[in-house]
Amino acid sequence: MATISKAVVKSIKQYGEDVREFIIEPEKYSFFDPGTFLQLALEEPKGNRWPDSRNFSMASFLNDDKTIRLVIRKIGVFTTRIFNELNVGSTCYLKYSFGDFLLPFYDNVNPIVCIAGGTGIAPFLSFAEYLKSIKKESRMFLFYSAKNMEELIALNEIKRSIASANLHVYLTREIHSDWHSGRITVDNVVESVSSIVNAHFYICGGEEFTSTFKKQLTALGAENIYTDEW
């Protein structure tokens, strides 16, 4: 059963003009699987009615601080309200957790290859924290594309959780000596795995980003492809 909880905003970090990281502390902190999402409402629920809300991926895993990280891009009416109304100390309301964008259930060995576009990094931050917590971080490969350095979310945490040989960052609108320039290609991705058939490919980003990689990986023989698109 989903947990419904009031939550307080503990900190906010801005990435570029339109992306913010919110660290929130729910009053009721319950177990959630990495890769799942919550529903965030700004008004207090009254009776059985759940107020207007939007879905956001858990961008962290269970931690001692009992907080949840959210990474939110301002694109429409509701996310503009979030940016205007949620400050440090503000309250919001959560219902969690939901979703089927989950790590492989039976396979504890084969690579987990994550392909993120922009705020699509969110569920992979929780994968990375979880895999590190069970000392399986070497299974995770991350291909992460962002516009520029300013929009690279939680880069220090990513570097702490994922081995540098497994981390492939692509900047589409900035040249930086540490990272690749341009877009991720499917060839970049498949080079990282010895068996396309056995690897697990997770893709999260916009509709075109997700469908292009899914189509290309399928054509190359990938059998385990999981997508989350917003």
The residues of the shown chain that bind ligand FAD, judged by CB under 6 A, are 37, 54-57, 71-73, 75-79, 99, 119, 122, 230
**65 vs 207, beta carbon nearer ligand FAD:** 207
**111 vs 123, beta carbon nearer ligand FAD:** 123
Q: State how far the Cα of 132 lies from the Cα of 140, in Å rounded to an integer.
A: 9
Q: What is the CA radius of gyration of the chain?
A: 17
**52 vs 223, beta carbon nearer ligand FAD:** 52
Give the number of other Cβ atoms within 10 Å of residue 115's Cβ: 28
Minimum Å distance from CB 77 to ligand FAD?
Answer: 4
Minimum Å distance from CB 193 to ligand FAD?
Answer: 26
**87 vs 164, beta carbon nearer ligand FAD:** 87
Q: State how far the Cα of 149 lies from the Cα of 173, in Å rounded to an integer.
A: 9
Minimum Å distance from CB 109 to ligand FAD?
Answer: 28
Minimum Å distance from CB 48 to ligand FAD?
Answer: 22
Minimum Å distance from CB 214 to ligand FAD?
Answer: 16
Minimum Å distance from CB 118 to ligand FAD?
Answer: 9
CB 199 within 8 A of CB 110: yes
Sign (positive or negative) of CA dihedral 14, 16, 17, 22? negative
**52 vs 65, beta carbon nearer ligand FAD:** 52
Structure tokens at 52: 């207007």
Indicate the burial class of 49 (C-beta count within 10 angstroms; 0-12, 13-18, 19 or more). exposed
CB 137 within 8 A of CB 163: yes
Nearest residue to ligand FAD on Cβ basis? 76
**166 vs 210, beta carbon nearer ligand FAD:** 210
Task: Identify the CA nearest to 209 among candidates 165, 145, 131.
Answer: 145
Sign (positive or negative) of CA dihedral 80, 84, 88, 93? negative
